[in-house]
Amino acid sequence: EAQVTQNPRYLITVTGKKLTVTCSQNMNHEYMSWYRQDPGLGLRQIYYSMNVEVTDKGDVPEGYKVSRKEKRNFPLILESPSPNQTSLYFCASSLRAGKNIQYFGAGTRLSVL
């Protein structure tokens, strides 16, 4: 079954404790992306990757890191989480950037205390 898998689904952590949210897709998609969703602000793109070893900043990259060592995986890293990073996070993938359908993971709800 074609899917985008995120883990964990829920995470509560404390300020400053490094964490990683994993994302994996099994569709051989070139393009992957991370979004955060906050009430009234919609979905905002954090980082995206056009292909292996090629990543770039989205609209809200501050406080986040990503890597794309393999085509299927695109982890989101919070080196020193802060309370303003409490949000709902979605990973998405598409065949390529631009005019392609994005497939979203189920989401990760993160609370930073």
Which residues contribute to the site for other proteins (CB under 8 A)? Answer: 31, 33, 35, 40-45, 48, 50, 56, 58-59, 90, 92, 97-99, 101-107
Decide: 21 and 76 in contact? Cβ < 8 Å.
yes
* Between 92 and 112, CB nearer to other proteins: 92
Tokens read off for 112 = 């930073």
* Between 56 and 79, CB nearer to other proteins: 56
Distance (Å, whole) CA 50 – CA 91: 14
Closest approach, Cβ 45 to other proteins, in A, equals: 6
